[in-house]
Structure 1
Amino acid sequence: MAKYIDLQTFTDARGNLTVVEKILPFDIKRVFYIYGVDETERGHHRHKKTVQAAIALNGSCRIMNHAGEGLPLEEFTLDKPSKCLIIDPEDFHWMDNFTKDCILMVFASEYYDKDDYIFEPYKQI
């Protein structure tokens, strides 16, 4: 089930420094980022093995998440770079409502494998 984690951020007169260290529940094997998104939705899948950590480095977006049959649809907003959303493999998710300046960075626990993707959604309650 998806959940927020707060990233340690140091702030002083010079600005902010946010750290991703010893907080993710996996070793990072892949990093990708999504930006320049129009009105479309991204994602619409879940995984067999991959755990992901999503951070909006700039701007904001919404992540809709469904963790399984019989569970409610959840809505998460990523709107600051110190907020991270952990997405478990069983979480069927999609992203939308991207602001024009949004940069969504994602850390993944596995290397890309097309066979790790499941595109069939759960039945919603």
Structure 2
Amino acid sequence: MSLIKFLDIKTLGDERGHLIALENDKNIPFAIKRVYYLTDTQPGVPRGFHAHKELTQVAVCVSGRCLMKIDDGHTQEEVWLDVPDKAIVIEKMIWHEMHEFSSDCVLLVLASDFYDEQDYIRNYEVFVEQVKNA
């Protein structure tokens, strides 16, 4: 079973352009409480390197691309986020890293809750130990 869970994101539009709507509890599997995006990431500088105890997120590159690395403490997978209608769910207790950002990358993240530093696990060894003890 794959760790990578893609969402069914519909692209609407015509010759004038495209529109992609992201909606609470419809194509996003939770009520959105926080939205943020990464942009102007320095070349060769990866981001992420953490898991969340409770938070669920959806990530999509609205422009450019990046390599998402996902890890449940047992299995690691990678996926390129490179089109604006390819969104993935990052469940709680999933270690995630973003690598190889293109210069035009805008990575949009929708979160199921507000920022809470106490929800973060920032040490990989601690993460793996918590997965083992779950």
Question: Normalising by structure 2, what TM-score?
Answer: 0.85
Cα deviation, residue 4, structure 1: 1.3
Partners of 2:8 and 2:79 in 1: CA distance: 14
Q: 1:46 aligns with which of 21, 27, 51?
A: 51
Structure with greater strand percent: 1
Q: Identity over the aligned pairs, expressed in percent?
A: 39
1:77-101 per-position Cα deviation (integer Å, ceiling 9, x unaligned): 1101111010001110100110000
Structure with greater helix percent: 2
SS of corresponding position for 2:109: strand
Counterpart position of 2:36 = 32
| Runs (4+) off by over 3 Å | none
Counterpart position of 2:83 = 80
Structure 2: gaps of 5 or more residues: 130-134
Counterpart position of 1:13 = 15
Structure 1: gaps of 5 or more residues: none
Aligned length: 121
Q: Is the 8 A contact 1:2 1:88 kept in 2?
A: no
Relative contact order (alpha carbons < 8 A, sep ≥ 6): 1 or 2 greater? 1
Cα deviation, residue 24, structure 1: 1.3
Cα deviation, residue 20, structure 1: 1.2
Partners of 1:55 and 1:65 in 2: CA distance: 14
Question: Normalising by structure 1, what TM-score?
Answer: 0.91
